[in-house]
Structure 1
Amino acid sequence: MPYSDAPLPAAARPSAAAAAGIRLVVTDMDGTLLDDDKRVPEGLWEVLARLRERGVLFSPASGRQYATLAREFAEVADGMVFIAENGTYVVRDGEELSSDPLDPGVVRDVVAAVRRLVAGGADVGAVVCGKRSAYVERADEAFLAEVRRYYVRHRVVEDAAAVDDDVIKVALYDFGPAERTTAPALASFADSHQVVVSGEHWVDVMNRTANKGAALRRLQRDLGITPAQTVVFGDYLNDLEMLDAADWSFAMANAHPEVVRRARHLAPSNNDNGVLRTVVRLLDLPVTGL
């Protein structure tokens, strides 16, 4: 698997025709575009301007809330497609392009399962993700500090399973290793829904039909863009299906081993500005300092 660094290895260097044909760049946020301190990489806004000049669409694809993504990219959001909530909610210019809401009964069951985990001593909390807001029952500052990172719009409620909103995902934050604790405890939901480990401490429950890859393929169909015209970057298990939707699929050097196996190419780590450095070289953008 080639490593995308300066200069880009020959195995990852497209022909001029292939580079000219790229029309869509999609990237995960945490662990991929952002560094470990959640900072936007230096040079992002210049790269986005160069992509826009080329007619290349840039799309953040994240487990984060749409409102959170829209705030991060507020100054350049016109025409940008946001693949939010791990693909369950896709928005462009404030208009919903697609969504995949959960059945209210499933939301109640997942919230009940979380309450049982808590009663058993697990340090975990549920975030019920609606289109308008996120809803939580835990009000301690340690938990809310994690919620605020990803959910700009959130409310503390008495019963998160009874909110008046279209719920598109239930996310669980586990202060321990989610892949070894919370995820196995939700195994019963995996028969009918997706139980996805989306980060070291996060597990998401969504409809089986919902993932970043499904959202990306729908977007490609709507825009007439092919996998050969698509570049994708990811680092964790919730990015796997999205990587499958692009011929130019890159795992970050810091990615989960399964992501590295699934992707066609390897990019420098998120702390080494891997996304932007790879995009600049892949598309031969006139950007200095990367």
Structure 2
Amino acid sequence: MDGTLLITGQDIPDSFWPVLQKARQRDLVIAPASGRQLATLRHMFAADPPETFIAENGAVVWHQGEIVSTTAMSATPVRRLLEALEAAPFTSYAVVCAPEVCFTRNDLPPEISEEVSRYYRSREELFSLHDAPLDNVVKIAIYVQGDAEAEALDWVESQVPELRVLLSGKHWIDVMDPDADKGHALEALASTLSVARQDTAAIGDYLNDLGMLKAAGHAVAMGNAHEDVKAIADEVVGRCEDGGAIEKLKAWLA
């Protein structure tokens, strides 16, 4: 989504909707894949909803009105990480994500609350994150006040070595079960649709897209993609601000 489809960072480009309609006519599935929450994705595409979403960086797959796959973490490392973050050597704010709702503290600074709301439309605010139900957590998203990669990534990995920790933006770190990524979600979706892996394709730009591109039958990196993403792609297309992803979809459908 960000860096791949969303030119403004918020709105779906007008040029996307005819592509979606043409894909439906061809009996092809376009599945927006994002670190965003399922509720947020459904709201963003409310004008003409796709029938499929990959949400929470692959931990949640939704198809034709129901969640068809989730990958949750054990409550023990989730609780350990939340406790450790209270004394972390950097300033951060955690978002505890269940499949259909997320939980934050009720005392977030206004600018952080606004940033969280960009990605998490269905949210409950709690006095303490320890009050959140921790038995069905699909992701912990951590907003780091400074540079997430330089200041926090290694530290988070050291706290929960049994979980998967990845950088999802300049300020964001996502923590998930090792089996939860967009690649696993793509494989689960292909199985649900009875589509062979070699008949799938994926377009991405950032490190949290690596698993998806590796799992896809054909991997496309954006012109503005991280160099590690470009290195494993089958091809590199135009930049996000130039509509590179939509132009590639049009070419496939042509």
User: What's the TM-score once normalised by structure 1's chain length?
Assistant: 0.83
- Work out the CA distance in 2 between the residues paired with 1:36 and 1:151: 18
Alignment-derived partner of residue 41 in structure 2: 69
Shift of 1:36: 4.5
8 Å contact from structure 1 (residues 136, 155) kept in 2: yes
Shift of 1:185: 1.1
Alignment-derived partner of residue 86 in structure 2: 115
Percent identity over the alignment? Answer: 36
Alignment-derived partner of residue 19 in structure 2: 47
Q: Which amino acid aligns with 2:163?
A: H
2:118 counterpart (145, 149, 159): 149
Alignment-derived partner of residue 53 in structure 2: 82
Shift of 1:189: 4.3
Secondary structure at the aligned position of 2:34 is classed as coil
**Matches of residues 188-207 of structure 1 in structure 2 within 5 Å?**
188-189=158-159, 191-207=161-177
Structure 1, unpaired ranges of 5+:
1-28, 285-290
1:162 counterpart (131, 134, 149): 131
Say if 2:252 is the partner of 1:247: no
- Work out the CA distance in 1 between the residues paired with 2:244 and 2:209: 16
Secondary structure at the aligned position of 1:176 is classed as coil
Shift of 1:201: 1.2
1:180 counterpart (138, 144, 150): 150
8 Å contact from structure 1 (residues 189, 195) kept in 2: no
Secondary structure at the aligned position of 1:50 is classed as helix
**1:182-211 deviation line (CA, Å, top 9, x unaligned):** 211112245311001111111011011111
8 Å contact from structure 1 (residues 125, 172) kept in 2: yes
Say if 2:103 is the partner of 1:132: no
Q: Which amino acid aligns with 1:56?
A: L
Q: Which amino acid aligns with 2:62?
A: V
Higher relative contact order, chain-length normalized (CA < 8 Å, sep 6+): 1
Alignment-derived partner of residue 94 in structure 1: 65
Q: 1:36 to 1:114 in 2, by over 3 A?
A: farther
- Work out the CA distance in 2 between the residues paired with 1:89 and 1:77: 17
Secondary structure at the aligned position of 1:170 is classed as strand
Say if 2:188 is the partner of 1:218: yes
Runs of 4+ in 1 over 4 A off after TM superposition: none
Q: Compare 29-38 and 54-63 and name the one that shifted more.
A: 29-38
Shift of 1:93: 3.0
- Work out the CA distance in 2 between the residues paired with 1:54 and 1:169: 34
Rg (Cα) greater in structure: 1
- Work out the CA distance in 1 between the residues paired with 2:118 and 2:237: 25
8 Å contact from structure 1 (residues 62, 83) kept in 2: yes
Q: 1:77 to 1:39 in 2, by over 3 A?
A: closer
Q: Which amino acid aligns with 2:54?
A: I
Shift of 1:232: 0.6
8 Å contact from structure 2 (residues 81, 160) kept in 1: no
Q: 1:209 to 1:189 in 2, by over 3 A?
A: farther
- Work out the CA distance in 2 between the residues paired with 1:228 and 1:113: 42
Count of matched residue positions in the alignment of Structure 1 and Structure 2? 252
Q: Which amino acid aligns with 1:81?
A: T
8 Å contact from structure 1 (residues 36, 270) kept in 2: no
Say if 2:6 is the partner of 1:34: yes
Q: Which amino acid aligns with 1:116?
A: A
Q: Which amino acid aligns with 2:25?
A: E
Q: Compare 220-229 and 92-101 and name the one that shifted more.
A: 220-229
Q: Which amino acid aligns with 2:82?
A: V
Shift of 1:37: 3.4
Secondary structure at the aligned position of 2:188 is classed as helix
8 Å contact from structure 2 (residues 11, 44) kept in 1: no
- Work out the CA distance in 2 between the residues paired with 1:282 and 1:253: 18
